[in-house]
Amino acid sequence: MKKFKILLLLLIVSVAGFYSCSDNDPVESEIVTSKSIALRTTLNEIKKANNINDRNANVTQDQFLCFQFVYPITLSYNDGTVITVATYQGLLDILTAETETLFIVGIAFPFQVQQEGAITTIDNEAEFYALIEDCGFSPINDDVLQFSCLQIVFPISVVNDNGVTIEVNTQAELESLLINGALVDIVFPISVTQNNEVIVVNDLYELFELYDECDGNTTSCICTADYNPVCVQTPNGVVEYSNMCLAECDGYTQNDLVPCAPVCNITNVTATPGTCNANGTYPLTIDFDYANTTSNEFYVYNSAGVLVGSYPLSSLPVTIPNYQTVAAPADYFVVRIGTNFDCNATQQWTTPNCNPTSDNFGTLLGTCFNIAFPVQIQFQGALVTANSNGDILQYYFPAQSNIPAFVYPLTVTFNTATGPITVIVASQAAFEAAINNNCN
């Protein structure tokens, strides 16, 4: 395996300083950059398109990209250094000089991109992430699921799109977070195993480098993102490539192709809720048809991406006796057969009203519990700040939801019979469960 090479930090600092000065655009202290997985993904695509991997980038190949930045753009290094980049060639030079100790991690929003002659403004990470997905780029979230080359050593911690740090103990739990398309940031360092060797990965840059090696992207191959799968026989079993170009990048020819295994699929998924239980949950019966699988079990993940449980396929239909109620008119789950990430399906159903308390959020706020201020609430596409109970109640609409659309986590103190209890709730479902447990 290629060993990571450590270059002199002094050299990179001098390069970063050169671009800040050469652009003649001093960085003001009020410029704020945001750490961006979408940016690191885009830079990785640029490096692959221009054959940048500890090599010279003498030929600029931005025509291979789905979009181009409108310059200047403001970027930041992992050590906090902020630079302004005025040209595409300047960006290539910066990427060529990156090392595992100093590399680009952030970008200042908003910025503009040019795509098929049109100029588009990208205001935040969600819009940037949607752009790279439309372009068929390979985000690190997708790479994490390629377990054939290397395996993550669990447990690890990740940060979800609400900013909450979650401990992930198994591959199945990690997949459940990614199935729903959540933006997940990995807390480094982590360890991975490859060819029975344990490797410590200190940051996103190193992880991208490892996955590039897995994909054969350290070569100068440039392939389209079309999906026309082919399979080859390797010493470690049959490997599927998205198209023939990617197989050829790894040195395979038409003579190496073998038939691909039949594709696992799930059809006719049904979800049937039952009568509410006394504790506010309800039974949910799941059934579906399946084909082309060697696994004997399936997994169920709720709409929050949390693993509900695993069940034998032979037991279908399966009834989950105590499914958690959500404060929404409809809910959904994801079912996945075995460890095959591609063999999954979703199903939505109308949720029963299983709130066991006669009081509602409005009457319990300030009596049964108090919320630590300030808090933020999502309202008509914007975030508003509430500094009092009265502020909160302006955005409480019981006909639409049991609880206002808070931005979590929240610190809540419950006035129980044994005295005050302060808890941190990470989601609406957790808040409702805490109310049910402490306000009866």
| 299 DSSP assignment | E
C-alpha distances in angstroms, 340 versus 295, 336, 343, 363, 388? 9, 7, 5, 47, 48
Whole-number Å distance between alpha carbons of 63 and 225: 15
pLDDT tens, 29-73?
A: 457 888 787 888 888 788 777 766 543 334 444 444 788 888 889
- The pLDDT of residue 63 is 42
Q: How confident is the model at residue 239 (pLDDT cuts 50, 70, 90)?
A: confident
Give me 32's structure tokens: 């704020």
Arch. (CATH architecture) of 265-350:
Sandwich (2.60)
The Cα 291–Cα 285 span in angstroms is 20
Mean pLDDT taken over the chain? 76
Q: What average pLDDT does this structure show over 189-193?
A: 82
Distance CA 26, CA 72 (A): 12
Burial 254-287 (b: 16+ CB within 10 A, else e): eeeeeeeeeebebeebebebeebeeebbbebebe
Confidence of residue 10 (pLDDT cuts 50, 70, 90): very low
Question: Which strands, in side-by-side order, build the sheet including 68-69?
Answer: 68-69, 111-115, 118-122
Per-domain residue ranges of the chain: 9-134, 140-258, 265-350, 361-438
pLDDT at 401 over 90: no
Output the CA angle 301-304-307, nearest 5 degrees. Answer: 30
> What are the pLDDT digits (tens) for 151-184?
778 788 887 766 778 888 776 677 666 655 555 5
Q: State the pLDDT confidence band at 7, using cuts at 50, 70 and 90.
A: very low
The DSSP result for 15-38, as a single string, is HHHHHHHHTT-PPPTT---EE-HH
Residue 45: its pLDDT value, please? 80
Query: Are the C-beta atoms of 429 and 408 separated by less than 8 Å?
Result: no
> CB-based contacts of 14: which residues, under 8 Å, 6+ apart?
none
HSE value, Cβ hemisphere, 13 Å, CA-based, for 235: 2
Distance CA 280, CA 346 (A): 23
Instruction: State mean pLDDT over 349-376.
Output: 83
Q: What is the pLDDT of residues 129-155, one digit of tens each?
A: 888 878 877 555 544 544 446 677 878
Mean pLDDT of 333-353: 81
- Percentage of the chain beyond pLDDT 70 is 73
In the prediction, which pLDDT does 158 show?
82
Q: Is the dihedral of CA 332, 301, 291, 312 positive or negative?
A: negative
Using pLDDT thresholds of 50, 70 and 90, give the confidence band for residue 128: confident
The predicted pLDDT at position 414 comes to: 93
